[in-house]
């Protein structure tokens, strides 16, 4: 069954009496080369487990199941579950879970399902919830090897941009803390049904096995990044001061100048490593004082 064929998609959905649900970000792939390419890029080992988010009617799930030992697909839309039963009937290595990925206790569930296998994430992500899903995957405590996901093209640019560029944001810096992100390829809007208004791109985040950056206080590190980008137009001194008024502006300026920055430096020019060094200096300042 060609699960990217428009007529097949229509007929399997009609047979279960279901419609596309916009509120779940349902734009299904209709170019079969795309799920093949995404699946190819997910992992270089066959004996792993893939966690797929949002299988839809299963076009990507099927390609993953052909290539990897075990696939666990989490789909929020109850109406799609009987469809997936039919479309994935030939695969005995797929487990479908009808849940909201944001509500699952991944830290408990994933090790149970993986049974010692390395775990990779793969998805054509629902666009309405891209960043929260990425944050959840990064913060849930599970050691995923990599995350290969389709996102809106402009989000892909943001997630893969470098410090100093206009697209560099808090999420870019946070991703940089957990791993290395690169863009694999772009996908035109007409590869989907219904077609979204914008193009998409597939990115891959290779997660560090051991933390590359070790801030002395993780909460402060993330807090400084958040402050820097919440107040993007402000200087870093003013942005940090608005969120952490316990530091005086003079103290903040002294730390920055001491670290080699101009007093009017803006947060968007700092790399992850620099945010880490800055938060360490501020942490030490309070620990001393």
The binding track of 89-118 with respect to ligand SAM, each residue x by CB under 6 A or -, is -----------xxx----------------
CB 277, min distance to ligand SAM, A = 36
Q: Quick check: 148 binds ligand SAM (CB under 6 A)?
A: no
CB 268, min distance to ligand SAM, A = 30
In three state form, how does the secondary structure of the chain look?
CCCCCHHHHHHHHHHCCCCCCHHHCCCEECCCHHHHHHHHHHCCCCCCEEEEECCCCCHHHHHHHHHCCEEEEEECCHHHHHHHHHHCCCCCCEEEEECCCCCCCHHHHHHHHHCCCCEEEEEECCHHHHHHHHHHHHHCCCCCCEEEEEEEHHHHHHHCCCCCCCCCCHHHHHHHHHEEEEEEEEECHHHEECCCCCCEEEEEEEECCCCCCCCCCHHHHHHHHHHHHHCCCCCHHHHHHHHCCCCCHHHHHHHHHHCCCCCCCCHHHCCHHHHHHHHHHHHHHHHHC
CB 7, min distance to ligand SAM, A = 15
Binding segment for ligand SAM among 54-62, 83-91, 212-220, 248-256 (CB under 6 A)? Answer: 54-62
Return the axis-axis angle of helices 170-178 and 272-288, rounded to nearest 10°. Answer: 90
List 29, 84, 138, 236, residue binding ligand SAM (CB under 6 A)? 29
Q: Quick check: 2 binds ligand SAM (CB under 6 A)?
A: no
Q: Quick check: 170 binds ligand SAM (CB under 6 A)?
A: no
Looking at the Cβ atoms of 59 and 203, the one nearer to ligand SAM is: 59
Q: Quick check: 179 binds ligand SAM (CB under 6 A)?
A: no
Looking at the Cβ atoms of 75 and 268, the one nearer to ligand SAM is: 75
Looking at the Cβ atoms of 110 and 270, the one nearer to ligand SAM is: 110
Instruction: Give the CB-nearest residue to ligand SAM.
Output: 54
List 1, 16, 20, 25, residue binding ligand SAM (CB under 6 A)? 25
CB 220, min distance to ligand SAM, A = 30
Q: Which residues bind ligand SAM (CB under 6 A)?
A: 24-29, 53-56, 59-60, 74-77, 100-102, 124, 126, 129
């Amino acid at each position: 069954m060609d699960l990217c064929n428009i007529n097949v998609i229509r007929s399997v959905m009609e047979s279960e009496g279901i419609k596309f649900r916009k509120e779940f970000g349902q734009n299904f792939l209709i170019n079969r080369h795309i799920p093949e390419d995404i699946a190819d890029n997910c992992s270089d080992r066959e004996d792993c487990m893939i966690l797929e988010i949002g299988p839809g009617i299963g076009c990507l799930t099927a390609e993953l199941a052909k290539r990897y030992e075990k696939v666990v697909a989490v789909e929020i839309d109850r109406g799609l579950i009987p469809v997936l039963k039919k479309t994935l009937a030939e695969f005995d290595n797929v487990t479908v879970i009808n849940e909201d990925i944001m509500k699952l206790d991944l830290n408990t569930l994933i090790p149970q399902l993986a049974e010692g296998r390395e775990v990779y994430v793969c998805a054509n992500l629902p666009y309405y919830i891209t960043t929260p899903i990425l944050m959840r995957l990064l913060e849930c405590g599970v050691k995923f090897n990599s995350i290969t996901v389709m996102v809106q093209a402009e989000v892909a640019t943001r997630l893969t941009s470098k410090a100093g560029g206009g697209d560099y944001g808090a999420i870019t810096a946070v991703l940089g803390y957990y791993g290395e992100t690169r863009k694999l390829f772009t996908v035109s809007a007409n590869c989907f049904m219904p077609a979204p208004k914008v193009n998409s791109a597939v990115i891959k985040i290779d997660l560090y096995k051991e933390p590359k950056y070790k801030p002395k206080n993780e909460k402060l590190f993330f807090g400084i990044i958040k402050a820097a980008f919440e107040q993007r137009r402000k200087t870093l001194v003013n942005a940090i001061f608005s969120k952490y008024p316990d530091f005086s502006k003079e103290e903040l300026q002294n730390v920055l100048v001491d670290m080699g920055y101009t007093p009017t430096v803006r947060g968007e020019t700092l790399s992850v490593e620099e945010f880490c060094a800055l938060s360490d200096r501020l942490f030490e300042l309070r620990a001393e004082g």
